[in-house]
Structure 1
Amino acid sequence: MQWDPGGATESKSKFYIYLRFLRIEQTFFSLPMAYMGAFVAIKKIPPIYILVLIFLSLFFLRTAGMTNDNLADREIDAKNPRTRSRPLVTGKISVKEAKIMIILSLIGFFVSAYFVNFYALILSPLVALVVMSYPYMKRYTAFANYQIATVQGLAVFSGAVASLGLYASSFSQLIIGIPWLFVISTIFWAVGFDLYNHIPDSEFDRQMGLHSFAVLLGNKALKFAGVNQILSVVLAFAGDYFYQLGYIGYSATVLHGLIMAYAYYLANKGDFGRAFYYNIYSSVVLGIGVILAVILH
């Protein structure tokens, strides 16, 4: 119950504190999903500069979103025994520093989107709005779990826009070319992974008036997470078939599902920390596998 991916109890350098604050490992774990969208959308390797810009856009937006989330929840986190070691709560990072990080990161995101392509720039405010509004949505509805999951799906979507936007002659052609099966598969995967973070806090969240499916469903929340992840695997298999990714794609999806099943087993045993990270590993396996399928097919 004491596990927290955003905590920083160690007395280490300021740089280390920032990395824990931003949960930097989750940014790198999201990168294969963004690249998966970029590769599948055009069925080939995107230009190197597009891959670099995808990384920069993802880094800046995740930094802004994670910082905003911590800033919005700092008073709540201070009351939760599990999250009291977060840098904004302990004062290792100040409110002023956090606000500066949000401003600079959003500027970096919009500048990166400008250099990606016209479609990326036009869609960037909508993507930013979804990311930045999450910490406030959970004050009102359990579907905030699906909003944060949609943020993960937007990584696949945005990667596809970055590469496909180089060739699409119209907005409708762009939207049709998005690998939607993988976008939606990622959303269902992320609902489960987000619930592993919420279930340990369900009683605290209920007392604080916060909403999630962990609060709404109680003891059935873990099964709900499992159902979402089964849907994720089914849609990933459909994506392998529809986008003709061959045995490499199918193999990656099988491994993706097996790792998620093990994560579910760990969560069922109460080991939500390991379940959380194994669930992330499953997405990395799927993303890399699909990318290899596109390259080698």
Structure 2
Amino acid sequence: MSWDPGGLSKNTKNRFYVFMRFLRIEQVLFSLPMAYLGAFVAIRKIPPISILILIFLALFFLRTAGMTNDNLADVEIDAKNPRTKNRPLVTGAIKISEAKFMIISSLVLFFLITYFINIWAFILSPIVALVVMSYPYMKRYTAFANYHLASIQGLAVFSGAVAVLGIYYNSLSQIFLRIPWFFVIGTILWAVGFDLYNHIPDAQFDKQMGLHSFAVLLGDKALIFAGLNQLFSVIFDFIGDIYYNLGIIAIVSTIIHGVIMAYAYYLASRKNDFGKAFYYNIYSSIVLGLGVDIDVILGIPF
């Protein structure tokens, strides 16, 4: 139960490593495959390399702003939680002033990058940023904060699609019609499951602090709820494979994606290893994202 993806060992002095742990940089791998999946499926071909680079940069800076804001909003709570007491903002390894500067500068860079992507990405960017930046406050009020966090992952698919569709279409309605919505929904349901792997170990502490999540609301049934969300996510991904005329590589990738999630569920439910379960979801997103992208590139029918 002591696992914490944002914690530091007491002897860590490398500033670069401190910032990477603070941002939980490896978790960018949750979102980037989904963003690229949205881009590839939306136009059924390889997007321009320049757009793929801009998608990565926009995602990186928005995630930097969001994660920093999350740490800043929760610094007093994290200080009281034995599991999170070694996070950089709690220990002083990163100063409050540094965190505020990171938020402001990262948001400015995010908006600037969306401007260079296309006009629709720029117009929609404040809405996307609002969803990301408001997340840490939702758990003060409702268990649906888990779905709020999951919607951020779904927005990665949405945003990747908008980034490429905005090159070809001048109408927002035309863009929305071509968003791969089944994958957006599948990603949201997948993310609810892995987010609960982060909340279930803290359920008792969160209850004492008056914080809300489905881990607090459902108690012992929270893990089953996480598994059901991920089961339905695989179903929506399969529907997406068929509806968007993807091929055998996408189908196989979806199956492996589901198997990895099932193994993560086994680790959480039978081994009580929420840390490994959480990180296996990174592997599952890479498998699905790369598989779908390769499928689009090769165009091998099912």
Per the normalisation by structure 1, the TM-score is 0.99
Mapping of residues 36-75 of structure 1, within 5 Å? 36-75=37-76
Partners of 1:29 and 1:48 in 2: CA distance: 21
Mapping of residues 110-259 of structure 1, within 5 Å? 110-259=111-260
| 1:9-55 deviation line (CA, Å, top 9, x unaligned) | 14231010000000001113421111010000000000111001000
- Percent identity among equivalent residues? 72
1:168 is displaced (CA, Å) by 1.2
SS at match of 1:191: helix
Paired position in structure 1 for 2:105: 104
Pick one of 280, 287, 290 that aligns with 1:288. Answer: 290
| 1:139-166 deviation line (CA, Å, top 9, x unaligned) | 0000000000000010110000000110
SS at match of 1:277: helix
SS at match of 2:266: helix
Matched to 2:272, the amino acid is G
Partners of 1:38 and 1:93 in 2: CA distance: 35
SS at match of 1:139: coil
Does the CA-based 8 Å contact 2:46-2:297 persist in structure 1? yes
SS at match of 1:178: coil
Name structure 1 gaps, 5 residues minimum: none
**Structure 1 residue ranges (4+ consecutive) displaced by more than 2 angstroms after TM superposition:** none
Matched to 1:54, the amino acid is I
Partners of 2:29 and 2:202 in 1: CA distance: 26
Partners of 1:12 and 1:31 in 2: CA distance: 29
Partners of 1:272 and 1:11 in 2: CA distance: 24
1:249 is displaced (CA, Å) by 0.6
Paired position in structure 1 for 2:3: 3
Partners of 1:218 and 1:288 in 2: CA distance: 35
Partners of 2:259 and 2:53 in 1: CA distance: 31
Partners of 2:149 and 2:12 in 1: CA distance: 31
Partners of 2:215 and 2:247 in 1: CA distance: 37
Partners of 2:26 and 2:164 in 1: CA distance: 24
Name structure 2 gaps, 5 residues minimum: none
Paired position in structure 2 for 1:26: 27
SS at match of 1:267: helix
- The CA RMSD measured in Å over matched residues stands at 0.6
